[in-house]
Structure 1
Amino acid sequence: MPRTDEATADRRPAARPESGAVGPDAPVQKVQALRPLDRTPPVEPPRPAGETRYLISDFCAYLESYLPPEQISECYRAYLFGAEAHEGQQRKSGEPYIYHPLAVARILAEMRMDYQCLIAALLHDVIEDTSVDKAQLAETFSPEVAELVDGVSKLTKLDFKSRAEAQAASLQKMLLAMTRDIRVILIKLADRLHNMRTLDSMSPEACRRISRETLDIFAPIANRLGINWIRIELEDLGFAHYWPWRRRVIQRALQVRGGGTRVEMIGLVETALRHALQQEGIAGRVEGRQKHLYGIYRKMRDKSRGFSELADVFAFRVTVDRVDTCYRVLGLVHNLYKPVPGRFKDYIAIPKANGYQSLHTALIGPQGIQIEIQIRTEDMQRLAESGIAAHWMYKSGGQSAGANPSALAADWLQNLLEMQRDAGNSVEFLEHVKVDLFPGEVYVFTPKGRIHSLKRGATVVDFAYAVHSDVGNTCVAARIDRRMAPLSTPLRNGQTVEIITAPGARPNPGWLNFVVTAKARVNIRGYLKNIKQREAQALGRRLLNAELAPLGAEVETLEPLRLAAYLEEVGLESLEDLFGEIGLGNRLAPLIARRLAGVEGEESEASAAERDDRDVHPHRLAIRGTEGMVVNFARCCRPIPGDAITAVFSPGRGIVVHRAECRNLGGLEGKRDKRLDVEWSREPEGEFATEIRVEVSNRRGVLAVIAGAIAELGSNIENVQTIEKDGMMTDLEFRILVRSRHHLARIMRRVRLIPLVDRITRITRS
């Protein structure tokens, strides 16, 4: 199928990519013999300035630096296969399509990826854009290659309601494939990088859409995996296409600030640092640079600062041989330039979430310009640039202590699997991934000294879920630095957090108002969703039995064949699913009861829905107050035990209980399909919210007196509002928790006795 994004192939006739190198009869065993033919490409359309054109001969020559000849031959065979499959297809720029997968493979070759990954890169679009399928790839090359290509391919053969849903489903498929093989995302990052390099041929609308996705998804993924050079290039290309004017403004501001002395200033600091290293007999490399434009823009945006308020736009890197030398160099540069207080960060002792390690310090450099210096070892530098890809690039080299991007990536991938398990749909999953992609900035400790990295603003509950999902689900309190603290407390760097759990505890829906990490949000929502489903099934069973009782039946005595036929008719797999649908208000128990009891005769389900209350007298459902999230109490009238009540069905929520005299029920009188007969249980449990209005004389301390009287009778105040009427009188509106109508009456009598109270009433809102 044709592609729908940046790599769209127009399928117009095109010249063969490289004359003599493509065709079913081309030899594949002796790669060297084919290279002279490859060096004379056909006449090509114009391409963007600065773009590098890679030929298959150049690609094979590069592979000789690290792959054996037989694996290079397999890569060449994959190139021939891909060129034949894409024959006649062109990119938006007008060039033959095969140049794109070849460029993607070259990017991965520079990361020294294995030959199976390179073959998959050369073929990464054949499933999506040609008639080749996964089975054919597995047979022609290997199942491993077929799985990699399939993981990168979008979902193009399914119908989606919107572009956003299609995008989310395809990204979800790719990310889940990545959890099985990390090379899937490396291929996709290389694919996106080349597409961004050649984005000028796309329409302005497509450029903005693709750039936004790159900045939101792919650059953060590259950062999360520690592949710094890909992240920086993706960010700068995305910035240039999505916010071109903002980029030009920052670029001009940098030129004005540095003027002609920018290069001179960088050279001056580099020379001073090298001279200081030589004096101390320390061998090391010094490199200076201006920070990339998107990084400057993001700091301005995130910290709400203007460009003139930013100081550290120039950065210098000192690379040495050992970890202890890093700390020696830190003292040296602090003697050379004055350090800025509070701007030192030790990422060697506490690595970032993606394994990055370095010492960062800010200094006042020449001409009073603030500079940043990063100090790290050679191993740290390799890991900082290549991240997870260093597993393939530097297999023979050592790694710095404490930095293991492969293990950190594995932890992140495990979190992705948990999010997939608990997310409701692909769009929700993608939103959680976006939240999770931004690296942690708060470092806190467990009582045993283990470090956890969390997103800035993370709370105690976020920390509990970072430790383990079960710890988060059962947490009830916490100690921060040995002092009790609320679960909503935001955490700060260096704190020690101890989570207190209870076996019977469960997540509170209110936690969703303050948690910030994706893992916490997904786990809470997933747990509550499962609880709600179980509660819906229990309520659905009660509702159906209540409707079956007047018909002389119950769920346990229903005829199995009739029940099975009905479930098949409505497309449900089990009786529990039917209970859940009834409990959530998606299906009506009275209609289902008549069908299953076999008393409908020839009456249609639609006409039964119009039946008046007088035609059927079902057993009233008893409300205990412990039904959970599928029984809701209306906020307009706030019913409490002792009130006459009725209920209405609310699809997706269950039932909503109102007071019988509630004015919001006016349009539902006599509609049996919308109403449900309910009553309070003989022994309701828990406390119920209600509202009262107290008109008082405007005197100092009156609120405290009334609050004390309410508390004295065992009620808790959830909320209070003050409404000024005039200079003499004030209305106080309280939302309080009571056990029954009788309990409320006692409270109102007690408050009415207070001398400053003029009148007290119960509030009913329309």
Structure 2
Amino acid sequence: MLGRLNNAIRNQRISRAFGIDALSEVLETYLPQAQVNEVRKAYHFGAERHEGQFRKSGEAYIYHPLAVARILAEMHLDHTTLMAAILHDVVEDTDVTLDDVTERFGRDVAALVDGVSKLDRAQFQTKAEVQAESFRKLLLAMTQDIRVILVKLADRLHNMRTLGSMPHAKRRKIARETLDIYAPIAQRLGIHTMRVELEDLGFANLYPNRYGVLERAVAEVSGNRRNLIREVEQTLSKALRDEGIGAAVVGRQKNLYSIYLKMRRKHLRFLDVMDLYGFRLVVKRVDDCYRALGVVHHVYKPIGELFNDFIATPKVNGYQSLHTTLVGPGGIKIEVQIRTRDMHHISESGIAAHWQYKLGSGGAKAPQVRAREWLTGLLEMDHAPGNSLEFLENVKIDLFPDEVYVFTPKGQIRRLPRGATPVDFAYSVHTELGNHCVATRVNHHLAPLSIQLRNGDTVEIIGARHARPNAAWLNFVKTAKARTSIRTYLKNLRDDEAVRLGRRLLERSLDELGLSARVLKGDSAERVMQAFELEDMEDLYASIGLGRRLAPLVARLFLKPDQQGGTPIEVAAPLAIQGTEGLIVEYGGCCHPIPGDPIRGHVSMGRGIVIHRVDCKSGIQQRKAAQHDWVSLSWASDVEGDFNVELRVQGPNQRGFLATVATEIAEAGSSIENVNMSDRSSGMADMRINIMVRDRIHLAQVMRALRRLDIVERVQRI
């Protein structure tokens, strides 16, 4: 009884401060009365449906959606978004359907509610899958209407403010998710105030001990320097007035999470983090920003390497300001940000400034345009192959754009994450340019495609029509777009190659059984596809080519029932390897087969065929283990390409030995892929060299050329 009474008193107190009447007072300052009435209508509907539901803290559930709407109202969001905020849990937590919401409040409100609602867990096997798929649904809904994520961020912010009533493990899990996903999204959309609060609340709940220690340390330091902020504000204000620059100067202490990250990133002790204080100068015009910069540099000594001009080169979320770090009173480092009023509005509210302020065309469009670019990238990631967990990992990578700014040959600026390479640059320009790039010039000099770009680099991409993405690029690209594009291309290419190889394997097995390839188009083909639950023959070919099904076993299904126990009528010729099969055929690294070698193929699940020499020791062991996984192979008469082979070259350990050997290999028309030199303490050089040759005849020519060298004592193929 006493608990219910306390809850009732508490709910009455919350109602007075945060109920619908308090919300309406805020709305009436910027919305017409008719729209305020629509919001009230949504409240009464939500309150009725949530009747009897309570949060862990004991308050009536309806106060949570009301608080979410209050957060968005303080950002001056439109009435449709506020109605969706109040109704955002009715579909998920009550018996209300989306059709009910559509009928009462319209399609726009229903679409926002649907975008925020989680998926039914029963559709998925693990919690990780349902979380990733729900997040994917949220982000894709955001690409249709950016207000979806604003409602979700406000929902998460209020949940973080009231996280104290949750169990410790639950608090840590939600805090981790907030720091990994939601705070970075707020930063990407430029919503500074929301991002800072999400970070500090996430930090306090994920690492409460660290938060407490840091909070006490900052309080102690601030107590010793409580007059510092006031002194700097007064000094800068006077200096700016003397120069005729009108500016609002506001000092603040940096948020704890940013201090914590700086300590971790730079391995600093707290006492070594000097720039705990930041000052913001808000002026009227862009030219006032640069004039004010000169004034503050005159008053306090600047630290040259700690200056950034984000007005000339805005951040990826549209943020603009001048940043400079100064040596303030008593040798204390202080950070100063200088911006115009429009820049300040965008910095604080980001994309929400579209609703909150009537800015000039340049200022208002910046966060909108940059958000749209990011959302377009999300759609490209979603269309790529892969599950929701891979999509979530790609989004996480894309949410932390520690940026570099590079130039195209025509002088256009492109923003890339730190550590990005010319391949990332190529894909940022256009997917086709990335798919066909073969080389790059950085600052007018040829450079590796894997080189990490730096601020100010001029990047030129050299492309070729015949070129295609290399799977090795996945080891060094940084952007989600590049990674997704490469995987998509390789998967499609691999599927095409798998279909061609699978058909050849199946036709060869049919030939062994005395069957014509015409059966692949007859009634028996339909029967086989039904048996494997496949839609068409290409799916069957691909599964054979990738090693998921064995061609001889599939071929027997094309026999008539009375023939399936029989023996093959004749033995077909081995499958001919042409050297152009690409990703679906691999050459064993244990024996390095080349055209002219007797070979056999091992059908490997998901990899296609791995080719071994007949005398390969590794291949012999595998063959003993699984005879049915092996197929007879031969080299086609018109085999194409260069093949890797390993040689062992021995000679005296003297200056120029490697250079002489390398020159001879090059003159023989071959190229070196890799060199390993063993211990030379005995006075002998013993090298293992991987070279590229066309066939056994070419290999023999290279080995003869090496044996003619006086300094070479032995040449052996491994």
User: Which bracket does the TM-score occupy, shorter chain normalised?
Assistant: over 0.9
Mapped pair 1:709 → 2:664:
yes
SS of match in other structure, 1:479? strand
Aligned equivalent of 2:456: 494
1:724 aligned residue = 679
CA-to-aligned-CA distance 1:718-737 (integer Å, 9 cap, x gap): 11111116423342111111
1:628 partnered with 2:582:
yes
Q: Compare the two structures and name the one with the higher helix fraction.
A: 2
Aligned-pair distance for 1:525? Answer: 1.1
Alignment of 1:298-377 (within 5 A): 298-377=261-340
Find out whether 1:660 has 2:626 as its counterpart: no
In structure 2, distance between residues paired with 1:118 and 1:304? 44
- Aligned AA for 1:320? V
> Which residue, 325, 344, 360 being the options, matches 1:381?
344
- Alignment counterpart, residue 70 of structure 2, candidates 106, 129, 133: 106
The Cα shift of 1:267 comes to 1.0
Q: Does 1:759 align with 2:714?
A: yes
Give yes or no for the alignment of 1:484 onto 2:446. Answer: yes
Secondary structure (helix, strand or coil) at the match of 2:593 reads: coil
**Partners in 2 of 1:214 and 1:573 — Cα distance?**
43
Structure 1 segments of 4+ aligned residues over 6 angstroms from their partners: none
2:702 alignment partner AA: I
Counting only pairs closer than 5 Å after superposition, residues 80-159 of structure 1 correspond to structure 2 as 80-159=44-123
1:167-202 deviations in Å (ceiling 9; x for gaps): 111111111111011111111101111111111222
Amino acid aligned to 1:760: V
Secondary structure of the 1:677 match is strand
Residue of structure 1 equivalent to 2:389: 427
Aligned residue identity for 1:185: I
What is the TM-score of this pair, normalised by structure 1? 0.89
Distance 1:381 1:554 in 2: 75
Distance 2:587 2:422 in 1: 30
Q: What SS does structure 2 have at the residue aligned with 1:696?
A: strand
Q: Is the 8 A contact 2:673 2:691 kept in 1?
A: yes
CA distance in 1, matches of 2:648, 2:269: 49
1:478–1:499 CA contact under 8 A, matched in 2: yes
Deviation (angstroms), 1:280: 1.6
Structure 1 residue matching 2:558: 3-state secondary structure: helix
Supply the distance in 1 between the matched residues of 2:44 and 2:570 (Cα, whole angstroms). 75
CA RMSD of aligned residues (A): 2.5
Conserved? CA contact 1:436–1:518, under 8 Å: yes
Give 1:293 shift. Answer: 1.2
Q: Residue 51 of structure 1: CA displacement?
A: 13
Listed one character per residue, the Cα deviations across residues 555-598 of structure 1 (whole Å, up to 9, x for unaligned) are: 44435333223223322212111111111111121122221243
Task: Find the aligned partners of 1:671 and 1:361 in 2 and give their Cα distance.
Answer: 68
1:419–1:519 Cα contact (<8 Å) kept: yes
- Residues 531-555 of structure 1: CA distance to partner in whole angstroms, max 9, x if unpaired? 1111111111111111122334444
Which amino acid counterpart does residue 643 of structure 1 have in structure 2? D
Aligned with 2:162 (options 190, 195, 198): 198
Which residue, out of 26, 43, 52, partners 1:62? Answer: 26
Give 1:740's aligned residue: 695
Q: CA deviation at 1:340?
A: 0.7
Q: Is the 8 A contact 2:343 2:363 kept in 1?
A: no
1:154 aligned counterpart, secondary structure: coil
CA distance in 1, matches of 2:411, 2:661: 49
Report the AA paired with residue 388 of structure 1.
I
Amino acid across the alignment from 1:414: T
2:35 corresponds to which residue? Answer: 71
Structure 1 counterpart of 2:511, from 531, 549, 554 = 549
Query: 1:638-677 alignment to 2 at 5 Å?
Result: 638-665=592-619, 666-669=621-624, 671=626, 673-677=628-632
Structure 2: unaligned runs, 5 residues or longer: none
Where do residues 457-472 of structure 1 align in structure 2 (5 Å cutoff)? Answer: 457-472=419-434
CA distance in 2, matches of 1:615, 1:660: 26
- Once the two structures are TM-superposed, the CA of residue 646 in structure 1 deviates from its matched residue by 0.9
- Counterpart for residue 488 of structure 2: 526
Give the percent of matched residue pairs that are identical in Structure 1 and Structure 2.
Answer: 53
Residues 316 and 519 of structure 1: is their aligned pair in 2 closer, same or farther, counting only changes over 3 Å?
same
Q: Distance in 1 between matches of 2:117 and 2:63?
A: 18
Name the CA distance, whole Å, in 1 between partners of 2:396 and 2:529. 39
Partner Cα separation in structure 1 for residue 628 and residue 97 of structure 2 = 51
Task: Tell me the distance in 1 between the aligned counterparts of 2:661 and 2:458.
Answer: 41
- The residue identity in structure 1 corresponding to 2:332 is I
Q: CA deviation at 1:493?
A: 1.4
**1:461 match: secondary structure:** helix
Q: Deviations along 1:209-263, whole A, 9 cap, x unmatched? A: 111111111111101100011111111111111122332343344345x352322
Q: Provide the residue aligned with 1:578 in structure 2.
A: 540
**1:24 equivalent in structure 2:** none
Structure 1: stretches of 5+ with no match in the other structure:
1-13, 17-39
- Aligned match of 1:699 in 654, 657, 664? 654
Letter in 2 for 1:373: V
Question: Is 1:42 aligned to residue 8 of structure 2?
Answer: yes
Write the distance in 2 (CA, Å) between the matches of 1:593 and 1:52.
77
Change (3 A) 1:308 1:681: farther
- Could you tell me which of 223, 238, 243 is aligned with 1:260? 223
- Structure 2 match to 1:37: none
- How much does 1:399 deviate? 5.1
- How many angstroms apart in 2 are the aligned matches of 1:670 and 1:251? 64
Work out whether 1:213 is the aligned partner of 2:174: no
Local SS of the residue matching 2:143: helix
Residue 646 of structure 1 aligns to a residue in which SS? strand
Aligned-partner Cα distance in 2 for 1:688–1:755: 27
Greater mean deviation of Cα atoms: 635-644 or 405-414: 635-644
Secondary structure of 1:374's counterpart equals: strand
Once residues 463 and 364 of structure 2 are traced to their aligned partners in structure 1, the CA distance between those partners, rounded to angstroms, is 30
**Is the contact between residue 11 and residue 60 of structure 2 (CA under 8 Å) also seen in structure 1?**
no
